[in-house]
Structure 1
C-alpha cells in the first residue's frame, strides 16, 4: 500500500512534513507531479498531468493506493475528484472548486444568508465597471493564492492600472474586484473527517504596507467560541469538512467576514511551526484522515489550553538583487540576557526560504521571503523579546 501526493514544485510541507510522516506510519510515498526533475532524488517523483483527474487516476490505480492527497491550492479539486473515482477518502470535489473560485465562494456564503461581500467578476479582456462608492476595493485573481497579484485600489484610475499590470503577466486570468474588509487579519485552522470538524487554533497576521498584502508576522491567537461557531457556519456553506483547511477572516462589529478559504494546511512553514507548537504529528494526522480514520482517533489538544505562545516573522527582501549572504538553518533556546532575562527558555528557529546566490524579488507576495523565524515560549512578551534579540543577530545581504 502506498501514499500518493499530487504536487507541482517542491514544498517544505511535502518534503519536511508529509514524507517523514508517511515513513513514520510505514507508508511508502510517491509524489505525482508535472515537474519531477525539480524534486529531490530521495523522494520518488512520477511525471503526471496532476491538473487532470483522469491522469491522476491512471497513475495511481496500478499502485495499490492507500491514500491520495494534495497540499496544493491548485490541485485540490482534481485530486479530490480522482480520489472519489478511486474509492478513496477525500474532499468533496465541488467544495474544493468552490473554495478555489473566490467569486463562487462569495456566492455560497451569501446564499446561506451569512454575509454579503460586494464582488464583481472581471473576465479576461473585460473592462471593470465599479461605482465610485465601492472604493476602496481589492482586485485579485479569481482563482489566485498567497496574495499573488492582490492589490488595494482607491479609485477607478488605480484599478485600471492594476488590471493592466496583472494582465501584462497573466492575460488569461479572470479577476475579482471586491469590497475591502477592514480589521485584524486572522486565521482559522481545522481538521475534519467529513462528519466532525476540529479546530487546531489560529493566528493574528501582521501585514506589510499597502497596496499589497504581504504577510510579515503571525502571532498565536485561537478564535473565540463565538468566532468558531460563525466560522463553522461559513465552512458548512462552502462544503468544507474533510482533511486540512486554512481560513482567513476579519471580525467587524462582532461579525466574522471571510477573506478566503484555502482547502489545505497553512503554508510558508507555518504548518511545521503549528505542529511544533501543538506538540502533535500534524502531517501524520492529515494522512490518517485520508486513510479513512475518524477524527476521534486523533489526539488533538484544545487550542485554548495549549499554554504556550508562538510568533513567526518573515524576513523579506527590501530591494531586488542577488542574495549574497544569509544565515543557514538555526535552532536553539534563548539564554538569559543581561538586560532581558525574560527571554530565557524560548525555543527559536530560522529556516532559509531562498538560497544564497539566488535573485531576490520585491513583489508584495511570499516570493519576497528570504527566511522564516519563529519563537515558542510560555507567553507573548517573552517570545517577542527573544525573537527580536535573535533576529537582531542575523544578517541578510542583497547586492545589485
Structure 2
C-alpha cells in the first residue's frame, strides 16, 4: 500500500512536514506533480519519497498515475489548486477524503460568499467580474472595497480600492497579468484579523489553534507577522465553526482567515489545507504535536486523535517574515539558523528565497525572503528575543 500526494512546486509543508512524517510512519510515498524537475533529487531531502510526473490538475491523469503504482492507502494534497481534483480522485478510488463540493466552495471565493449567505450566517456585498465585464457592474459594492481573483491564492493581485476610478485601474492591471480570469469585488471587512486551524475526520472537527495576523500597509494585504492567539470568545468561535460547517469543511486540515468586529466573525477566505509558510511547522513545535502524522493518518482512515487544548499550552509563539522592499536580486542573506535566546526562547530562521534569485515586488507572500520564529514563555519575552534575533541578521537586495 502506498500514500500518494499531489503537488505543484515543492513546499516546506511537504518537504519538512508531510514527507518526514510519512517516513516515520513507515509509509511509502509517491509525489505526483506537474513540475517534477523542480523537486529535489536527493532521496534524503525527499525522506525517501518517489517523485512522478503527472497532470495533477486532471482527475483522470491522477487516477492513471495511481493505477500505475502500488495500491493506494491514501491520496491527498496540500495545494490550494489541487484540492478539488484530488478529492474527486480519492472519492473515485473509494479512499477517505474531502468532499469535492467543499473544496470547490473554499477555492472559489464567490461560492464561499454565496454558500455562507444562503445558510443565513453572513452576507458580504460581492460582485463577480467576468474577463470582459465592465467594472461598473460592481457599483452596488460599497467603498472601500477589495478586488481580487475569484480563485486566487497568497494575496496575489488583491487590492484595497477607495472608489470607481481606483477599481478600474486595478482591474485593468490585474487583467493584464491574468487574462481570462474572473475577479471578485467585495466590501472591505474591517476588524482584527485572525486564523483558525482545524483538523477533522469527517465525523468530528477539532481546533488545533489560531493566530492573530499583522498586515503590511494597504493597498496590498501582505502578512508580516503572526502571534499565537488560540483563545477566542465562545460566540465568535461558534460563528466560525458554523460557517465552516455550512461550507462542508470537516475532513483533514483547514486554515481559515476571518476578521472579528463588534463580536461578529466574518470570513476572509478558507484554505482547505495546512496553514503553510512554515507556520504549520512552528505550530507543531509549539504544541509538541505530530500534526503532519495526524493529517496522514486521517487520510488513511484513522479517526481524529485526541489533541491538546491550544488555550492551555503554556507557551507563546510569534512568526515574522522578512519581506523584500523592492524588486531586484537577493545578493546576501543568512542560511538556516537555529538559536536559543534569553529565558530559553527557541529561535529560528529559514530562507524562503535563494541568494542570486531576482524577483519583482508583488505585495504578496512571494516577497518573503525568510521566515523567522520564536517560541517562549510569554508574548513580551518572545517579541523581544525575536526583535534582537532579527536585528542580528541582514538581507540585501541589489536593484
Does the alignment reach a TM-score above 0.5? yes
- Residues 230 and 310 of structure 2 are in contact (CA less than 8 Å); yes or no, is this contact kept in structure 1? yes
User: Which of 327, 336, 341 is 1:329 aligned to?
Assistant: 336
CA RMSD of aligned residues (A): 1.0
Q: Deviations over 1:179-230 (max 9, x none)?
A: 1000111000000000100000100000000000000000000142222211
Counterpart in the other structure of 1:154 = 162
Counterpart in the other structure of 1:197 = 205
1:1-400 matches, within 5 Å, as: 1-41=1-41, 42=43, 43=46, 44-62=50-68, 63-129=70-136, 130-131=138-139, 134-224=142-232, 225-295=234-304, 298-335=305-342, 344-400=343-399
- Residues 190 and 245 of structure 1 are in contact (CA less than 8 Å); yes or no, is this contact kept in structure 2? yes
Write the distance in 2 (CA, Å) between the matches of 1:106 and 1:132.
Answer: 16
- Residues 122 and 177 of structure 1 are in contact (CA less than 8 Å); yes or no, is this contact kept in structure 2? yes
**CA positional deviation for 1:54:** 1.2
Which structure 2 segments of 5+ residues have no match? none
- Residues 192 and 261 of structure 2 are in contact (CA less than 8 Å); yes or no, is this contact kept in structure 1? no
Write the distance in 1 (CA, Å) between the matches of 2:309 and 2:181.
Answer: 41
Q: Secondary structure at the match of 2:344?
A: coil
Q: Deviations over 1:100-159 (max 9, x none)?
A: 110011010001110000000001121122337711000000001110110000001100
**CA positional deviation for 1:361:** 2.9
- Residues 61 and 86 of structure 1 are in contact (CA less than 8 Å); yes or no, is this contact kept in structure 2? no
Q: Normalized against structure 1, the TM-score is what? A: 0.96
**CA positional deviation for 1:269:** 0.7
Q: Normalized against structure 2, the TM-score is what? A: 0.96
Write the distance in 2 (CA, Å) between the matches of 1:202 and 1:125.
Answer: 39
Q: Secondary structure at the match of 2:97?
A: coil
- Residues 113 and 124 of structure 2 are in contact (CA less than 8 Å); yes or no, is this contact kept in structure 1? yes
- Residues 188 and 223 of structure 1 are in contact (CA less than 8 Å); yes or no, is this contact kept in structure 2? no
Q: Secondary structure at the match of 1:198?
A: strand
**CA positional deviation for 1:45:** 1.1
Q: Deviations over 1:273-299 (max 9, x none)?
A: 11111111111100000000001xx24
The number of residues matched between the two structures is: 390
Write the distance in 2 (CA, Å) between the matches of 1:133 and 1:32.
Answer: 41
**Relative to 1, partners in 2 of residues 1:305 and 1:388: Cα closer, same or farther, differing over 3 Å?**
same
- Residues 7 and 32 of structure 1 are in contact (CA less than 8 Å); yes or no, is this contact kept in structure 2? yes
- Residues 339 and 347 of structure 2 are in contact (CA less than 8 Å); yes or no, is this contact kept in structure 1? yes
Q: Secondary structure at the match of 1:134?
A: coil
- Residues 141 and 187 of structure 2 are in contact (CA less than 8 Å); yes or no, is this contact kept in structure 1? no
- Residues 7 and 32 of structure 2 are in contact (CA less than 8 Å); yes or no, is this contact kept in structure 1? yes
- Residues 141 and 185 of structure 2 are in contact (CA less than 8 Å); yes or no, is this contact kept in structure 1? no
